[in-house]
Amino acid sequence: MAQQISRFIARRFGVVLVLALQGGWALAQMSDKLPPAPDYLGEIRRIPGGELKAMPESAAGVKPAELAAVATMIVGPGEKITTITEAAKLAHDGEVIEIRSGDYHGQPAIWTQNNLLIRGAGQRPVMLADGKSADGKAIWVVSGGKVRIENIEFRGARVASRNGAGIRFEKGSLTIRACAFLDNEMGILTGNSADLSLEVIDSEFGDAPRHQANLHHLLYVGSIGKFILRGSRFHNGYLGHLVKSRARENFIVYNMLVDGAGGKASYELEFPNGGLAYVIGNAIGQSAGTDNPVIVSYGAEGRRWAENALYMAHNTLINDNYAGKFLNVFTEKFGADVEVWLLNNLMVGNGDLNKPAQGRFDGNRLVARGDLIDFGGVPLRLTSQSPLRGAIRPPGLARGVELLPDAEFHFPVGSRAMRPNSALAPGAFQ
């Protein structure tokens, strides 16, 4: 049964789980050993769009098939194509575009092609806006079809409308992996079509501009069909939210959404129009100087979608402010009949976690900061002797989605597989 559940959540989220044991972050171990790399030929996985894909593995870990593809266009100093702007104009459908390491100043791009893989080679290349933008919107605008972007950094996006993005996503499906979005008015900003789907994996968002009159969200997802956020880190917001999503379906799993001591974000995670939201295995925390005492918000602007439910399980919610709410569900705007499940969440600091009018409420615990082990200055993991270990029950499934995490965030960015033991603990780290 456990194996069936593990396979199901892999299909549902469309992600691959990686086991890596490093330093003080060896929070959990799997008893099974991986076969030696030379004997491992790969496996078939179902990705979010429903397609089956071959997933070979390298000695460094699981690696999507696209990474093994041979570059059809190379961009950078000394190459035939030297600028990103030129590359975007010359690219054809199905290209594998490799960008050499280095700083790329003032080279905005509009990608209109379908089935693109754009990846940075070696040390992550940096796209520096330097006052320029594509179509007055972003450093890059993605308006093709199926696009995957890997190992690229975006910095300094500014436009006249004050919502300049590292990437503006307008059409098709977009996968972001191992990228960074720093000091942009918006890290990623999407369109509002239900046909769009966005997946962000193992990426970093931070350092919102300090503009008093504007709200700069680190990641702003519009009214799209599906949004998956996994293994990513968010920090140092300012007045805007760390993550804001209006998507119909949301899978927020194994992330670190912690504003940090210098941050002054509003909500750390918001679903203003509801939708289906699965929030599993995340560390979510607001700073002492937060601009809004609510950490997670649901339904502040009323209904948009036919199906609406919030499932929060095994999250660690941290409030460094003197008071506040770990979660606010706006029933006065959304209706008291919305289904909310709050299961096995661990709260740190002062604040309220109100029992929902409809749904499930079990296994949630409030602890003092001193009861947890710090990682990177953030209280995350219960001690091995904590009386809360073994004090809760598995959360089960919601609409066929397993709510028991089988991975955890891996500092400073990413996630790794873990297997909860019989002494199940509340929170994101076992």
Residue 129 pLDDT = 98
Residue 363 covered by a domain: yes
Residue labelled with tokens 């010359």:
90
Separation between Cα atoms, residue 401 and residue 419, nearest integer Å: 17
Cβ atoms 357, 331 nearer than 8 A: yes
- Both tokens assigned to 273: 């129009």
> Quick one: CA dihedral 323, 278, 366, 237, positive or negative?
negative
Residue 430 covered by a domain: no
Cβ atoms 408, 415 nearer than 8 A: yes
Residue 68 pLDDT = 61
The amino acid at residue 354 is N
**271 sits in which H/E element:** strand 269-271
SS3 5: helix
Residue 230 covered by a domain: yes
Residue 355 covered by a domain: yes
Residue 427 covered by a domain: no
CA 116 centroid distance within chain: 21
Strands 397-398 and 401-402: antiparallel
* Helix (H), strand (E), coil (C) string for 101-170: CCEEECCCEEECCCCEEEEECCCCCEEECCCCCECCCEEEEECCCEEEEECCEEECCCCCCCCCEEEEEC
How many domains, the chain? 1
Residue 195 covered by a domain: yes
Residue labelled with tokens 């710090």:
374
Residue 141 main-chain phi, psi, to 5 deg: -110, 125
Based on the number of CB atoms within 10 Å of its own CB, is 303 exposed (0-12), middle (13-18) or buried (19 or more)? middle
Residue 425 covered by a domain: no
**CATH code of the domain containing 61:** 2.160.20
Separation between Cα atoms, residue 330 and residue 110, nearest integer Å: 38
Separation between Cα atoms, residue 190 and residue 220, nearest integer Å: 7
Residue 119 covered by a domain: yes
Separation between Cα atoms, residue 123 and residue 151, nearest integer Å: 8
Cβ atoms 269, 293 nearer than 8 A: no
Based on the number of CB atoms within 10 Å of its own CB, is 377 exposed (0-12), middle (13-18) or buried (19 or more)? exposed
Residue by residue, pLDDT tens for the chain (430 residues) are: 444 444 444 444 443 333 333 333 333 333 333 334 334 344 444 333 444 445 443 333 334 444 468 999 999 999 999 999 999 999 999 999 999 999 999 999 999 999 999 999 999 999 999 999 999 999 999 999 999 999 999 999 999 999 999 999 999 999 999 999 999 999 999 999 999 999 999 999 999 999 887 899 999 999 999 999 999 999 999 999 999 999 999 999 999 999 999 999 999 999 999 999 999 999 999 999 999 999 999 999 999 999 999 999 999 999 999 999 999 999 998 877 899 999 999 999 999 998 998 999 999 999 999 999 998 889 999 999 999 999 999 999 999 999 999 999 999 999 999 999 889 999 999 9
Based on the number of CB atoms within 10 Å of its own CB, is 33 exposed (0-12), middle (13-18) or buried (19 or more)? exposed
**2 sits in which H/E element:** helix 2-13
Domain region containing 258: 2-417
